[in-house]
A and B are shown apart, each in its own frame.
Chain A
C-alpha cells in the first residue's frame, strides 16, 4: 500500500540544501523584545501557536472537570452554579480563544506568505495588532473568569444574560475585542492574497489552503461585525433601558438569537474551512497525488462560506421562530451538505490509487474524514425541523457539534501541526509517539462523543449537572473516553516539545511534498527565501510520479 518513508524520493530542490538552517527566523533576532515587537508573519504565527495551545489546554481542563462532574448522577465535585460556570468557560475558551483564531492565526500567518511566494503579509503591523487584540480580549475574558465567571453558556442568550448576577460583562467585552482581532486577520489575508502573489501564482494556481483561508477571511470580515453589534445592543439595552431584546420593554428575545447566530453559525465555518484547507494539503502530500478536482475543492470553500450565511435560523427551530422561517432555514442548511460532499468526494478520489504513506499527519486526515462525515450527516438530520424539535438541547446536539467543531477542527489542526512542524521548527518529532498520540485522540474522541449521541437520543438534556440513574453507564463511558482523549493530547504535546530539543534535523522537505511552502529551507530564513522560488507547476503536482493516473 505505502512505500516506506525512506523510499519517499526527496524533492529535486533539496539537493545541496542544509538539513537545518542555522540562522533562521527564530534566532535572527534575539530577546523577548524582538518577539513582542516582531512584524515577521512566522513569529506571529508561532506566538499564536503558544497562545491558542494554552487556550486549548485550559478549555480541555474545563472539559475534564465537566466530565468528572457527570461521572455520577448526583453532585460529584461541584455545585450546580459551578457547573454552569464551567461549561460556559469551556465553551468561551474553546470557541473564542482556540477554534476561531487557531488555524488562521497559526498556519495562516505562517504559511500564507510562504505559499504565495511573498516576503510577508500585506499589513505586518496590523498583523501584530491582531495578536495584541487577542491578548487583550483574552485578558478581559480571563478577568471575568477569575471574578466569578458567567453561567449563561457561550451563547449569552437574553433575557437570562441580562438578568444573571454572574460576571457576564467582561466575557462579552472580551468576545467583542477578540472579534476585532479576527476581522483584522481576515482583512489582512484578503489583501495579501489579492496583492502579494508571486509571479506565476494566479488565482487558479494558489494552494488550496490559501483558497480556504480566502473563504474564511470573507466570513470573518462580513460576519464578525454583527457579533460586535449584537453585544453592543445588549449593553445599550442594559445601560440606557432601550427595549431591544426585553419583551417587557417592547423588545424581542428571539431577535438576539437571530443576530447572535448570524455571526456564530458562519463562525463554525471560520473554524472548519481552514481545517478543510489544511487537510487538502496533507492529503495530497501523503497520497502523492494531485488534488482531484482542484477547481471544485477551491470553489466549494467559497460555496460553504456563502451558503453558511443562509443557515443561522436552524438554531431557532424551537425558540419561537415562525414556521415559515424554520422551513426556509431547514432547506437552506442542507445546501452546506452539498458543498461539503463535493470536498469529501474529491478527497476520496485523490486517495484513490494514490501511493499512500501512513504517517502521523495522515492518521489525522483519516480521523478528520470520519469526524466530518459523522458530524455532517447528523447535521443534515438536525436541519430537519421535525427531527430537531425532539433533539434540540439534548446531548445529540452536543455530540453533533463536537464531531464537527472538535473532531473536524482539532483533527485539521493536528494534521496541519504535525505536517508543518518540521518546516516551522526544522526538527522531526518521534513518528512512533506521533502515531500513538493520533490513535489515542481518534479512539478517545469516539469513546467520548458516540455515547453522547446515544444519551441525547434517549432524551438527556444538555447543560444539566445531574441526571437519572438510567443515563449513568453511558456517562461513565463518555468520561472514560474523555480521559483517553486528554492522554492523547498530552502525548502529542510531549512528543512535539521534546522534538525541539532532541529531534533530528528535518531537512527542507522531509515528506517529499510538492506544496509551494516547502520550496524554502527549514526553518525558513527571516525573509522567507534566500532566493525567490519559481512556480512552473501546480501545487502538489505529482504527475511524473503517477504516470497515467491523472489527477485534475
Chain B
C-alpha cells in the first residue's frame, strides 16, 4: 500500500496533454452531434468517443497506467459486469417477438389513467 502511495507520478506535461485530448474529443462530439449522421451511426460514434475519453481518464488521471496488479484486475472485473448488463439487455431487445398490435399514432396518444396524468406533447409515431 505504502509503496503505491509513495509512487512517483509523471510531471504535469502528461496531464496537460491528456486534458487537451479530452477537450478535443469533446469538441469532436459536439461537432459530430450537429452533423446528424445517418441511422445509428451518430450514437455509435458518440459512444466510441466516450469510451476513448473514459479510457484516458482511467489510465492517466486515475493512474492505472502506473499501477498494476490488483488495480487492473478490479477494473477488468467491473468491465466484465458492464458488458454483462449491456449484453443481456441488448439480447433482450434483439430477440423480442414483434408485437401483434404494434402501436399506431392513435394508441401512442393514449395517456395512462390515474391522478395527475397530464397531457404531454407526443411526437408522431414512426412509420
Contact = CB atoms under 8 A, between A and B. Distances in A.
Interface in A225-280: 226, 247-250, 252, 254-255, 258-259, 262
25 contacts: A160-B112, A160-B114, A163-B114, A164-B114, A165-B116, A247-B108, A248-B108, A248-B120, A249-B123, A252-B93, A258-B88, A258-B89, A313-B88, A313-B92, A321-B92, A322-B91, A322-B95, A322-B96, A322-B97, A323-B95, A324-B92, A325-B91, A325-B92, A325-B95, A329-B88
Given A160-B112, A321-B92, A324-B91, A309 B122 contact: no
Closest 5 A/B residue pairs (Cβ): A165-B116, A322-B95, A324-B95, A322-B96, A325-B92
A320 B92 CA distance: 9
Q: Which size class do A's interface residues fall under?
A: 20 to 34
Interface string B46-81: 000000000000000000000000100000011001
Interface string B73-110: 00001100100110011011111110000010000100
A532 interface: no
Interface residues of B, number: 26
Contact of A222 (B81, B97, B103): B81
B70 to A, nearest CB: 8
B122 A320 contact: no
A309 B84 contact: yes
A247 B112 CA distance: 12
B12 interface: no
B92 A322 contact: yes
Contacts, number: 63
A165 B85 contact: no
A204 interface: no
A358 B1 CA distance: 45
B46 to A, nearest CB: 14
Nearest to A160: B112
Contact of B116 (A164, A249, A313): A164
A258 B92 contact: yes
A294 interface: no
A80 to B, nearest CB: 12
Interface of B: 1, 70, 77-78, 81, 84-85, 88-89, 91-97, 103, 108, 112, 114-117, 120, 122-123
B118 to A, nearest CB: 8
A163 B84 CA distance: 30
A258 B86 CA distance: 10
Interface in A322-358: 322-325, 328-329
A459 interface: no
Residue among B96, B120, B122 facing the most chain A CB atoms (10 A cut-off): B96
A2 interface: no
A324 B112 CA distance: 29
A195 interface: yes
Contacts of B114: 160, 163-164
Interface of A: 159-160, 163-165, 194-195, 222, 226, 247-250, 252, 254-255, 258-259, 262, 309-310, 313, 320-325, 328-329
B91 A226 contact: no
A473 B49 CA distance: 62
A163 B91 contact: no
Contacts of B91: 322, 324-325, 328
Given A247-B103, A248-B120, A159 B88 contact: no
A351 to B, nearest CB: 36
Contact of A262 (B70, B85, B116): B85
Contacts of A309: 81, 84
A323 B114 CA distance: 31
A163 B112 contact: yes
Contacts of A249: 123
Contacts of A254: 92
Contacts of A159: 112
A320 B95 CA distance: 11
A165 B114 CA distance: 9
Contacts of A259: 85, 89
Contacts of B92: 254, 258, 313, 321-322, 324-325
Contacts of B112: 159-160, 163
Nearest to A243: B123
B1 A195 contact: yes
A402 B82 CA distance: 30
A320 B96 contact: yes
Given A163-B112, A164-B114, A222-B77, A323 B97 contact: yes
A310 B91 CA distance: 14
Nearest to A191: B1
- Which of B92, B96, B117 has the most chain A CB within a 10 Å cutoff? B92
